Structure formats: C-alpha cells, structure tokens
Chains A and B, each alone.
Chain A
C-alpha cells in the first residue's frame, strides 16, 4: 500500500475541508495576478458592451494526468456562465475533446440554472471544436473574429498550438489569457499571449471569479503542501550533504 500517497491525499482533504469551514465568514485576500485582474475587468466590460467571452478548455481527456487543468477551466467557466448568462452575447466554451465538451455544456447550463435563467441556455454555446489539438485551434481561431469576442481565456491543457490562437486574438484585437499545465506551452504563451499564467496560477483562476470559501481554501492547501515539499527538499539535501542518507 502506498502510504505516502494515501497520507498526502488524506492530509489534503482534511486541510481543504477545515480551511473551507474556517474561511466561510471573512473573504480571503488573494495575491494579485495581473493577468486574472485584467481578464476580470475585460469580462465585466464584455457584459456591458454586448461582446462575448470565449473560454477554451483545451483538448486533453479528463482520463489522463493532465485532466486537472481542464477541471480548473470548468471551475472558471461555471463562475463566468453564472455572471454573464443574461448578457446579450452569453459566453461560449469550446473543447477539443468530446467528454470535455459535454461537461462544458453541463457547466454552462448549471450556471444558467443557478441564477434562475434556464430558459436562456443555448446548447450551441458549449462546443466541440475539433478532435486534435491543431484542428481544435483551427476551429477556434475564426470564432474570435466572427462571434464578437472581446476577451478569451485558454484555460486547460494546451500545447504549442496555442500560439496560433494568440496570433489570431492579436489580429482580432481580443484580450487573450493563456493558462496551461504544459511548461513548453507556458513559455509559448508567455511570448505570444496578451497575458499568461505561469505554473500553478492556472488553478487560482476559479478563485478570482468565485465568491465561496472552497476555491480560496484550495489555494491555501496548495500553499501548505508547497511549503511541505520545500521543507522536505531542503531537509533531504541537508541530510545528503551531511552524509546521513
């Protein structure tokens, strides 16, 4: 039995539940991430000026180890759909994988239902763009221009094909925030996108759009676990230098 893994999962769950309960009353202070602040402003403006927000969830299956980034994208989509459902042009979600596209539709529908506007939900706002990374990017590129999009968030698992979307966004004067779990694609997005999230900032995105205690608690748990790993690494290095291990 993998006790270390089981312990990590158990400890994380315990921290998550406890911190969510502790943070229920006061609103948690979040570190400023310029890309997310800019997207949040653009999102507010898009509701006011009747333009659209596009959320692309990437093409990775939830069955792989990269599925977590798509779940973070769905978390953000849930908040966005709840806040912008009744605008003239509701947000559109695109995915490069069928199951993810279905979950995007479900998430959008849940957002509409949460504000009592189920009748405004349109199934075509959650779309399957393509079955391969490049075909998905190729299908998403014209949407930036054709569908009155003013801001777009790539949040999920993307590869280097994200540069094509950044280029299309720049030509269409669309603010594009890129957030992916792939380090190579992160560097591509840093160079080409209007804003890029680096590393685990991707998982902070839902917390910046949500108001409940759980997203903030999950960020706190990530911080605690990160510090535990840092201490473990330093301790391991020190013990190695001293010749104990």
Chain B
C-alpha cells in the first residue's frame, strides 16, 4: 500500500513538473491539478471533522478551556445549519461573517501593533548583540524618516537616507533572502518528488 502511494505520488509529481516544461504534458498537468483542487475541498471537510474531534475530546475530558471548545462547537454547528438553510450568499449569512469574523480579526490586528512594540522594546533584553542594535536603529530611523513631524520633514533623512535604505539595502537583502528560500523550496520539493521525503506515508 505504501509502495502504491509512493509510486502514485512520484508519477503524479513528475507529470505535473513535466507539464511546466513539455507542452504535450500540459493537458494531463491541468487534469491532475483539477483533481488536487477537488481533493483539497474534501480535505477541508475532513479538517472540520478533525476540529470537532479535538474540541469534542476537550469537552468530554473536561480539560482546561473546555468552555471555549463548547462555544466553538455551538457556533460551528449553528453556522453550519444556518448555512444549509439560507445558503452562503444569503445577506444574513454575509452579515454574520461581517459582524463576527471581520471585527475579531481586526481586533487581533490591532493587538499585533501592541505586541510588536512590546517585542521591540524587549529585543535588547532577549538578544543583546550587534544585529539587534542595527535592527532597532534602522527601525527607528525609518520611522522618523517616514513620519510627518510638527516642524516638517527631515529633508536629508526623508529624501536620501530612507529611499537608499529601502531601495538598496532592504530590497537587495530581501532579494537575497527570496533566492535562498526559492532554492530551499526547489530542493525540498525534489526530495518529495524522488520519494526521499514522504509526508503521505503514515495512514
């Protein structure tokens, strides 16, 4: 069974990869990718079952935070039943999403601003080295150079230092990081493709 999964994964991977380079394989690449999209949809349903199992276990075992799990289950099933009755495009369903998910995520975004300031303040205590000093100094410099100050903009900082930092150092560094990440992605993908890494071998 594991050999079958390995053969299927490797052949499908090679066909999809080949589809990017060999025009005659593009049809089968499209077909396989369509299957993948359908399977990803099924995985979402299985993921919801996993969510129910995890939180159901927490409620059953009366673990810490079980009350929150119960609230989640009530909301999950409530939204599911409403969705079945009204349909996902119904104005009330949209209102439900806009009134719960959007404000909750916006609040977390606001909390993020506080967390970032707090993290930067504690950075030197956590990791007191040259890189941390350079990081903080650059962040402060960019903030001052970008801010509208009561006495106007700082000409040199705003017109020369900030663009130079942003477009030369930061952009060059980011490109270097992205090249590194791209190479890592290529080699990690190849390991899966030749069957050296098998994240599908458990079940």
Contacts and interface: CB of A to CB of B under 8 A. Distances in A.
Quick one: which of B48, B63, B109, B183 has the most chain A CB within 10 A?
B183
Interface string B167-195: 00000011011111101111111111110
A13 interface: yes
Quick one: which of A13, A123, A134, A202 has the most chain B CB within 10 A?
A134
B157 interface: no
A168 B104 CA distance: 17
Contacts of A101: 43, 47, 50
A5 B18 CA distance: 11
Contact of B184 (A102, A103, A222): A222
B64 interface: yes
A121 to B, nearest CB: 8
A225 interface: yes
A65 B182 CA distance: 9
A132 B57 CA distance: 23
Interface stretch (A23-31, A71-79, A235-243): A71-79
Contacts of A225: 183, 186-187
A160 interface: yes
B179 A71 contact: no
Contacts of B188: 68, 71-72, 75, 203, 218
Contact of A2 (B20, B47, B57, B64): B20
Contact of A98 (B40, B112, B116, B123): B40
Nearest to A228: B183
A98 B126 CA distance: 35
Contacts of A16: 187, 190-191, 194, 196
A164 B115 contact: yes
Contact of A106 (B21, B120, B202): B202
B22 interface: yes
B115 A12 contact: no
Nearest to A125: B54
A56 interface: no
Contact of A65 (B101, B185, B201, B202): B185
A234 to B, nearest CB: 14
Determine chain B's interface SS by DSSP, over half rule: helix
A6 interface: yes
Contacts of A119: none
Contacts of A127: 50-51, 54
Contact of B194 (A2, A13, A75, A188): A13
Nearest to B193: A13
Interface residues of B, number: 71
B65 A142 contact: yes
B165 to A, nearest CB: 13
A146 B65 contact: yes
Nearest to B136: A191
A69 interface: yes
A1 B65 contact: no
A109 B189 CA distance: 21
Contacts of A166: 115, 119
A157 to B, nearest CB: 10
Interface in B23-82: 23, 33, 36-37, 39-40, 43-48, 50-51, 53-54, 57, 63-65, 68
A1 to B, nearest CB: 6
B200 interface: yes
9 contacts: A68-B184, A98-B44, A98-B45, A98-B48, A98-B50, A103-B199, A134-B104, A192-B115, A225-B187
Interface of B: 17, 20-23, 33, 36-37, 39-40, 43-48, 50-51, 53-54, 57, 63-65, 68, 101, 104-105, 108-109, 111-112, 115-116, 118-120, 122-123, 126, 131, 135, 139, 173-174, 176-181, 183-194, 196-203
